[in-house]
Amino acid sequence: MQKLILLVLISLLFFSSCAEKSEQKENVATYYLIRHAEKERIDKTNKNPNLNNIGLERAKNWRNHFKDVKFDAIYSTDYNRTKQTALPTAQANNIDIQLYSPSDIKFEAFIEKTKGQTVLVVGHSNTTPKFVNGLLGNEKYEDIEDDNNANLYIVTLSKTGKTSKLSVVN
C-alpha cells in the first residue's frame, strides 16, 4: 500500500511539473526585430526604393543567421525594402509575410496575438527601436543610425518578465 501511495505522489509531482513547464513554454514569446537591409539611394525622391545588391545579400544572410529559428510569424511594413528583407526568411519558414503599420500598432493586442510565438519584425531605422520599446513598455532604445543595417534586437516576454538584447550581425 505504501508503494502505491508513493507511486501516486511521484506521478502527481512529475505530471504537474511537466504541465507547468509546458504552460511556461507556451506563454513565452520571442521577438526578433531588424531594420531593412541596404536600399538603393540613386533617386532621392523615391520613397519606396528596392534593396541594392548589398541589401539583397544581407537579406539572404539574415535567412542564414535565422536558419535554426522556427518562426511562427513574420511581420513587415508595406515597403519594398522591408518586404524584400523579410522574404528569404519567410520562404525558408514557408510562411507569408504579414504587413503592419508602425503608426497603428496596438502593442497589448499584438502581444496577446503573438503570445507563445517566435516572431520576426522588419522595420526601419526609427520604427524598429520604437517597436522594441513598445514591446518592453519603456524607452530603452534610440533610433538606428542611417548607415546601420545590422542591428538585431531580441525581446523575450514571459509571465516572469521582459528581457531584451541588442547585437550587431554583419
Q: Which residue has the higher pLDDT, 18 or 65?
A: 65
28-168 fold: Rossmann fold (3.40.50)
Q: Yes or no: say if 166 and 148 are a contact pair by the CB < 8 Å rule.
A: no
Q: Would you call 64 exposed, middle or buried from its count of C-beta atoms within 10 A (0-12, 13-18, 19+)?
A: exposed
Confidence of residue 14 (pLDDT cuts 50, 70, 90): low
Crossing angle of helices 53-65 and 80-93, rounded to 10°: 30
Grid cell of 106 as nine digits: 496596438
Q: Quote the pLDDT of residue 27.
A: 85
pLDDT at residue 128 tops 50: yes
Confidence of residue 2 (pLDDT cuts 50, 70, 90): low
pLDDT at residue 17 tops 60: no
Q: Quote the pLDDT of residue 10.
A: 52
Read off the pLDDT of residues 101-110 as tens digits, 9 standing for 90 and up: 999 999 999 9
Please report, for the chain, the start and end positions of each structural domain, with discontinuous segments joined by +: 28-168
Confidence (pTM): 0.85
